[in-house]
C-alpha cells in the first residue's frame, strides 16, 4: 500500500472534530464497540446497528457523532495511533542516552506492530483504501509519518549532545525504524504471525546494536552487549 499526499492534505484528513463534553461517554463506548466489531467480524460484516446495540446507544446517537461506518473506522485508526504515540513520545523527550532509550522504543514499536489489534486493523485499512484512500492517508500520517518525525527530532538532539555522530537526522530515523520494522516483521503482521517474546527482544537488541555501530559518536563506547565486530 503506497500513500502519496501533500502536507495540506495530511492536515485536512487528520483533523479531529471536537466532541461535546456530554457526548464523550457515548463516543467512547461507540469507538470501543466499533473497534471490537471490526476486529472480530471484519469491516464489511460489521453493521452500525450492531455497533450501536453493543455501545448501548441509538443509531441516531451514533450518526450524530459519526456520519457513516467509514468515519467510525477512521476514528478507530486515530484512537489506535494516538495510543501508540502516547507510549513513544515520553521516551523521546526523556533526555536518556540512545543506548538506553532506543531499546525501549524499539521494543514498544515492535510489540505494537505485532499486536493482533494492529495487524487486523492494518489489513482492514489496506482493503478499504481502494474505496477510501483518505483512511490509508490518515493511517500513514498519524502513524509512520508522525513516528518518523518524532524519531528524527530525537536523533537531532542526540547528535547535538554528541551522543550520535553528525548526520542527517531524518535518514538516521529511517535507518533505525527500518531496522526495527524489518521486511520479515511486516510479513509476519500481514500473515497474522506472532513471534515469541524472546525472539522479539533479540531482534530489537540486534537492531539497536547495528544502529549504534553505524551512528554511535566517535569517542563513545558502544553498549556493553555490542559484539566484537561492532567494537573493532
pLDDT tens-digit profile of 125-150?
A: 888 888 888 888 888 888 888 889 99
Query: Distance between CA atoms of 124 and 42, rounded to whole angstroms?
Result: 7
- Alpha helices by DSSP H, the chain: 7-13, 24-41, 48-55, 59-65, 69-92, 98-113, 116-128, 133-140, 146-160, 169-180, 183-191, 197-215, 228-231
Asked if 65 contacts 26 with a C-beta cutoff of 8 angstroms, the reply is yes
The predicted structure's pLDDT at residue 5: 38
User: What distance in Å separates the CA atoms of residue 224 and residue 133, rounded to the nearest whole number?
Assistant: 46
Dist CA 164 CA 217 (whole Å): 4
Q: What is the value of pTM for the model shown? A: 0.75
Per-residue model confidence (pLDDT) at position 132: 83
- The pLDDT value given to residue 116: 82
> What is the predicted pLDDT for the residue at 91?
83
Q: Please state the separation of Cα 152 from the chain's center in Å.
A: 15
Give the model's pLDDT for residue 89.
83
- Residue in the structure block whose three cell numbers are 523527550: 93
Which residues of the chain are under the pLDDT cut of 50?
1-16, 228-232
Tell me the C-alpha distance between 227 and 199, whole Å: 18
- Per-residue pLDDT of 177-207, as tens digits, reads 999 988 666 766 666 666 667 788 899 999 9
pLDDT for 224? 56
C-alpha separations of 80 from 61, 178, 216 in Å: 23, 21, 33
| Predicted local confidence at residue 83, as pLDDT | 83
Domain ranges for the chain:
92-231
Superfamily per CATH, domain 92-231: Tetracycline Repressor, domain 2 (1.10.357.10)
**Residues 6 or more apart whose Cβ sits within 8 Å of residue 53:** none
Amino acid at each position: 500500500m503506497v500513500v502519496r499526499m501533500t502536507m495540506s492534505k495530511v492536515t485536512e484528513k487528520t483533523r479531529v472534530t471536537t466532541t461535546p463534553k456530554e457526548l464523550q461517554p457515548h463516543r467512547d463506548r461507540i469507538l470501543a464497540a466499533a473497534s471490537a466489531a471490526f476486529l472480530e467480524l471484519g469491516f464489511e460484516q460489521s453493521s452500525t446497528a450492531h455497533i450501536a446495540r453493543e455501545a448501548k446507544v441509538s443509531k441516531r446517537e451514533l450518526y450524530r457523532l459519526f456520519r457513516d461506518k467509514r468515519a467510525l473506522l477512521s476514528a478507530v485508526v486515530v484512537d489506535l495511533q494516538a495510543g501508540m504515540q502516547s507510549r513513544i513520545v515520553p521516551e523521546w523527550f526523556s533526555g536518556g542516552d540512545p543506548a538506553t532509550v532506543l531499546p525501549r522504543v524499539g521494543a514498544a514499536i515492535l510489540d505494537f506492530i505485532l499486536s493482533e489489534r494492529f495487524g487486523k486493523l492494518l489489513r482492514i485499512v489496506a482493503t478499504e483504501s481502494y474505496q477510501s484512500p483518505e483512511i490509508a492517508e490518515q493511517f500513514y500520517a498519524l502513524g509512520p509519518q508522525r513516528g518518523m518525525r518524532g524519531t528524527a527530532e530525537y536523533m537531532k538532539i542526540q547528535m547535538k549532545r554528541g551522543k550520535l555522530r553528525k548526520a542527517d537526522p531524518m535518514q538516521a530515523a529511517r535507518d533505525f525504524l527500518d531496522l526495527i520494522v524489518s521486511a520479515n516483521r511486516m510479513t509476519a503482521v500481514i500473515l497474522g504471525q506472532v513471534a515469541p517474546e524472546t525472539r522479539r527482544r533479540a531482534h530489537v537488541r540486534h537492531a539497536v546494536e547495528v544502529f549504534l555501530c553505524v551512528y554511535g559518536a566517535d569517542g563513545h563506547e558502544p553498549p556493553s552487549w555490542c559484539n566484537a565486530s561492532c567494537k573493532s
